[in-house]
Amino acid sequence: MSRGQNTSSTTSAANAAILAAALVFATLPLWADKGLVFLAGIVMVQIVFAVSFNLMFGLTGLVSFGQAAFFAAGAYTAAWLGRAVPELPFLIFCLAGGLVGALLALLIGVVALRRASGIYFAILTLALGQLVYTLIGKSDALGREDGLVGIKRPVIDLFVGTLDLSIGDRYYYFLLVACGILLGLLWWVWHGQLGRLLAALRQDAERIRFFGVNVRRYREIAFIISGGVTALAGALVAPWSQIITPAIAHWSYSALPILFCLLGGASRFWGPAVGAIVFAGLEYATRTMVGVSELIVGGALLVVVLAMPGGIVGTLSLLARKLTKNGKERLNEQSA
C-alpha cells in the first residue's frame, strides 16, 4: 500500500478518535445510568473478542466460524473454578480460562487447519464450535441449559492490601484496565514481526511457503493466540454479567465478531472495535422494537457489506484521504 504525505494527518485524527473513545469509556460511570454502564462493559469485552478474532480473519485471512467456543471455554473455566476452588486468586481463574481456550484452539486448529481452507475451514470450525456448544448445554457440572448463575465479583489481593471489586463500579474499571492490557498485547502482535508474517500469509501463502516458512504452523500459532485472548475476554465477562449460559457458545455468537469486523473494517486494527460500538449502539437504540430491531441491524449490515467493502473505518480513511488530497491540490493551485 502506498502511503501519501497526508498519512500523518489521518493518523493523528485516528489517534484522537481512539483517545476520545477511551475517555468516554473511562468516564462513563460518572454520567451514564447503570444499564448503559453494564452495556459498555459488555462492549469492551466484545471489542477484545472481535479484535482477537480479527487476528485470524483480517490479518491471516481465515474465517473461523467457531470463535464463540473459545469465549465460552474461557468464561466457563473461570466461573467453574471460582466455584470449585474459591480460595485461589481471581487472576489464576482468568489465566486458566485463557489457557483452556488456547488448548482448545490448538485442538480445533490441528483438526481444522490440517487440510481445510476457505469456506471448508469456516464450516468445519462451525461444526466443532457447535460440538462445544452441545457439550456445554448437556453437561451437569456446567449447569446444562441454565448455565452458571450467581458468579461473584472477586476480591483481589494486591500484597499491600485487598481490593474488593464487587463494590460500586470497581469491576467496570478493572474491566477497562484488563481490556486495555489485552488490546495492547494484540496491538503488539498485529504490528510486530509475527503480524507482518501473518499478513503476508493472507496475501500469498504459496510464495511464503517457498521462502521456507511453515505456513500451517504459523496459522496454528495465530489461531492459538486468537483463541487464547478470546478465552481471556470470556473469563473477564463472567463476573461482570454474573451469569453465563450456553448462548455464548452458540454459532450466532460466533457470527458477532465477524459482523463487527466487516461493519468496522477488517483490514484495520481498530476496525472491529468501531464495529462493536456501532453495533451495540444500533441494538441499544432499537431494543424495544420487536422485529424492527433485526430489520435495522440486518439492513445496516447488508448495506455496509455491499456498499462499503472496507467497513466504516476503511471508508472513512478513504474519504479523509480524498478530502486532504483535494485540499492540498486547491492549496497548490492558489499558491501557483
Partner 1 sequence: MVGDFLLVGLNGMTWAMAVFLVAAGLTLIFGILHILNFSHGGFVMIGAYLTYTLINQTSGPTGIFVFLAVAVLCAAVVGVLGYVIDRTVFERLKAVDDSYSLIATYAMLILCEGGVKLVWGPDFIALPPPAGLDGALLLGDLFIPSYSLFVILSGIVVFLVLDFWIHRTRSGKVMQSVALDPWMANVLGININAMFTTAVVAGFALAGLAGGLLAPNQSLSPGLGGTYIIQAFGVIIVGGIGNVRGAFIAALVLGMIDAFGTVYVPEYPGIFFYIAVAGILMYRPQGLLSGIR
Can residue 198 be called a binding residue for partner 1 (CB under 8 A)?
Answer: no
Can residue 280 be called a binding residue for partner 1 (CB under 8 A)?
Answer: no
Element (DSSP H or E) covering residue 20? helix 7-31
Q: Kindly indicate which of the ranges 195-203, 212-220, 301-309, 313-321 contains the residues binding partner 1, using the contact rule CB under 8 A.
A: 301-309
- Separation between Cα atoms, residue 304 and residue 274, nearest integer Å: 13
Least distance to partner 1 from the beta carbon of 229, Å?
Answer: 21
Nearer CB in complex with partner 1: 179/258: 258
- Separation between Cα atoms, residue 212 and residue 214, nearest integer Å: 6
Can residue 329 be called a binding residue for partner 1 (CB under 8 A)?
Answer: no
Q: Kindly indicate which of the ranges 26-34, 89-97, 284-292, 321-329 contains the residues binding partner 1, using the contact rule CB under 8 A.
A: 284-292
Q: Kindly indicate which of the ranges 82-90, 157-165, 210-218, 290-298 contains the residues binding partner 1, using the contact rule CB under 8 A.
A: 290-298
Can residue 291 be called a binding residue for partner 1 (CB under 8 A)?
Answer: yes
Can residue 288 be called a binding residue for partner 1 (CB under 8 A)?
Answer: no
User: Which among 247, 240, 189 has a CA at the least distance from the CA of 218?
Assistant: 189
Task: List, in sequence order, every beta strand (DSSP E) within the chain.
Answer: 148-149, 155-157, 162-164, 243-244
How many amino acids of this chain bind partner 1 (CB under 8 A)?
41
Least distance to partner 1 from the beta carbon of 128, Å?
Answer: 5
- Separation between Cα atoms, residue 88 and residue 109, nearest integer Å: 31
Least distance to partner 1 from the beta carbon of 119, Å?
Answer: 5
Least distance to partner 1 from the beta carbon of 212, Å?
Answer: 25
Can residue 281 be called a binding residue for partner 1 (CB under 8 A)?
Answer: no
> Binders of partner 1 among 7-66, rule CB under 8 A?
57, 63
Least distance to partner 1 from the beta carbon of 295, Å?
Answer: 4
Can residue 141 be called a binding residue for partner 1 (CB under 8 A)?
Answer: no
Least distance to partner 1 from the beta carbon of 75, Å?
Answer: 20
Can residue 124 be called a binding residue for partner 1 (CB under 8 A)?
Answer: yes
Cell reading at 183: 488490546
Question: Which positions ≥6 away from 194 have C-beta within 8 Å?
Answer: 218, 221, 222
Can residue 282 be called a binding residue for partner 1 (CB under 8 A)?
Answer: no
- Separation between Cα atoms, residue 117 and residue 96, nearest integer Å: 30
Report DSSP letters for 155-196, one per residue.
EEE-SSSEEETTSTTHHHHHHHHHHHHHHHHHHHHHHSHHHH
Element (DSSP H or E) covering residue 48? helix 34-54
Q: Kindly indicate which of the ranges 2-10, 107-115, 184-192, 229-237 contains the residues binding partner 1, using the contact rule CB under 8 A.
A: 107-115
Can residue 107 be called a binding residue for partner 1 (CB under 8 A)?
Answer: no
Can residue 1 be called a binding residue for partner 1 (CB under 8 A)?
Answer: no
Supply φ then ψ for residue 156, to 5 degrees.
Answer: -100, 135
Question: Which positions ≥6 away from 236 have C-beta within 8 Å?
Answer: 45, 48, 94, 175, 178, 179
- Separation between Cα atoms, residue 143 and residue 141, nearest integer Å: 6
> Binders of partner 1 among 226-255, rule CB under 8 A?
251-252, 255
SS3 of 244, please? strand
Residue type, 221: I
Choose which of 258, 274, 313, 316 interacts with partner 1 (CB under 8 A). 258
Chain positions contacting partner 1, by CB under 8 A? 57, 63, 111, 114-116, 118-120, 122-124, 126-128, 130-131, 134-135, 138, 251-252, 255, 258-259, 262, 290-299, 301-302, 305-306, 309
